[in-house]
Structure 1
Amino acid sequence: MRGPLRVPVARVEAGASILDEDASRYVARVHRKRLGDRVVLFDPDRAIEADAEITAIDRASVSVLVEAPRVATFLPARRVTLLQATCKSDKFDAIVRDATELGASRVVPVVAERSVGRPADGRAARWRRIAVEAARQCGRGDAPAISSPMELAEAVQLFAAGEGVSGFCLDPMADAPLGPALRRLAPEVELAFVVGPEGGLSPAEIEACTSAGLARVSLGPLTLRAETVCAAVLGAVLMLSR
């Protein structure tokens, strides 16, 4: 049995509240909720949620009575950053959805030498909306941060090479498999993964990753699509973190 409708909002506070235009439309028009129905409001930025009851519905807004906020029930067990080379927009949309459902804390779109095009301005905001919607659908209490697109070398230095982070560069030609490397790490260790475009990372990019301290690892001998690599890697992390 499905639980109450989950509604993403900008802020969750106890007491009477009026949902914003998007949330009101979602509750009243998309799901046709009525007076007295209960929903769960969640703030994907602060990982806070609360039960709420609908107290009024008019043409432009929905009013609710919000109960005491609480820490979101379902949150990722560890911090994981995905540094994903950009690809065609629909494929990157799918990667953001999968990364959200599988527990990524941050998605960093990186422009690699073999990336197909460069994301248009404002694309990060679109990906953030996709992440929030994916969090709502899967029951997650937060949503991953979505960085603005950046060059791979800069992204590695900012997000994958810091103290306390174990970084991995996915390379199908690497000798070391990812699985044993993950199993050797304590479950609280923060992780970062660099995933190249469908044409793969260039030798210079792989060198930049390894020079920054990232381990060069492989998922095996098969050639995988970029979106498949994301799901395989984050799925493995999810299983090992439980």
Structure 2
Amino acid sequence: MYRLVIEPTQQQQEWVNLTHDQQHYLKRVLRLKDGDPLIIMNGQGKAWKAILQGTSAQLLETLTESTELALNLSLLIALPKGSGFEEIVRGCTELGVTTFIPVISERTLLNPSAQKIERWRKIALEAAEQSERQIVPQILEPIKFSIALTKVKEVKTDKYICVTRRETDHLFSYLTKPLLNPQIIATGPEGGWTTGEIDLAISAGFQPVSLGPRILRAITAPVYVASLVSAMVDTQSFS
């Protein structure tokens, strides 16, 4: 059954006013007709079984299922070059990431436009629909790495920064214990973090961790991290 994410302002009690683009996609692309069922999500954790009715959707029943991770996972990601961040957003949304914090590091080459950021958010919405999530992850405005560290320093979370060519324990070793706090995990740009950036992160409460002996691409590392956390959280939730 098709899932559609709406803005909360579109809902008027048991009715949802569909946008022109939503009407076009449902009726012209998916070929849905009046009375056909679909699932409506507000992107903030609520979902309903609904039917299409003209230019609206009628909400019939609240759904209580949840496919979300049992804790919040935020990825602090040094922006890769090109369209790499689009791949990261798509894959990590499917894996349950709650918040993306894109940062400008010393080796970051990308300076994204407002249109680029809006495209990232559209990709997150589409990936949330496809993976049957109840929440559309938040994508923050890109900021400098040092400023991001200041903002998260006092937040009560487990904080890790992924590094290479250092004698550090693997991230997995920290995930085997019961995960009680939200997680913030930082992954670096092409060429990795500078020594100064790593030291700055440590002073902000980040624990350096390894992702193994192989050097992962800047677009691979976040997906690998999200996969590890997702697997461990889901395993602990079902045990």
TM-score, L = length of structure 1: 0.90
The CA deviation string for residues 15-70 of structure 1, in whole angstroms up to 9 with x for no partner, is 233311121112111111112210001111x21111111222xxxxx322212444
Deviation at 1:158, TM superposition (A): 1.6
Question: Which deviates more from structure 2 when the two are superposed, residues 190-199 or residues 71-80?
Answer: 71-80
Question: CA–CA distance in 1 between the matches of 2:86 and 2:146?
Answer: 23
Q: SS state of the match for residue 205, structure 1?
A: helix
Question: CA–CA distance in 1 between the matches of 2:202 and 2:132?
Answer: 36
Q: How does 1:36-51 map to 2 (within 5 A)?
A: 36-44=35-43, 46-51=44-49
Which residue, out of 195, 201, 218, partners 1:203? 195
Matched, 1:130 2:123: yes
Which residue, out of 143, 151, 163, partners 1:150? 143
The CA deviation string for residues 54-106 of structure 1, in whole angstroms up to 9 with x for no partner, is 222xxxxx322212444563222211110101122411000011111111110
Question: CA–CA distance in 2 between the matches of 1:226 and 1:22?
Answer: 34
Which residue, out of 30, 49, 52, partners 2:50? 52
Q: Which residue matches 2:23?
A: 24
The amino acid that maps onto 1:83 is L
Question: CA–CA distance in 2 between the matches of 1:126 and 1:96?
Answer: 10
Question: CA–CA distance in 2 between the matches of 1:118 and 1:53?
Answer: 42
**Is the Cα contact below 8 Å between 2:71 and 2:182 reproduced in 1?**
yes
Q: Which residue matches 2:166?
A: 174
Matched, 1:5 2:2: yes
Q: SS state of the match for residue 139, structure 1?
A: coil
Question: CA–CA distance in 1 between the matches of 2:49 and 2:189?
Answer: 42
* RMSD after superposition: 1.6
Q: Which residue matches 1:223?
A: 215
Relative to structure 1, the CA distance from residue 109 to residue 83 in structure 2 (aligned partners, 3 Å threshold; closer, same or farther) is same
**Is the Cα contact below 8 Å between 2:3 and 2:38 reproduced in 1?**
yes
Deviation at 1:152, TM superposition (A): 0.5
Question: Which deviates more from structure 2 when the two are superposed, residues 126-135 or residues 113-122?
Answer: 113-122
Question: CA–CA distance in 1 between the matches of 2:135 and 2:120?
Answer: 14
Structure 1's unaligned 5+ residue stretches are 57-61
When the two structures are aligned, how many residues end up with a matched partner? Answer: 231
Matched, 1:192 2:187: no
Structure 2's unaligned 5+ residue stretches are 235-239
Matched, 1:63 2:56: yes
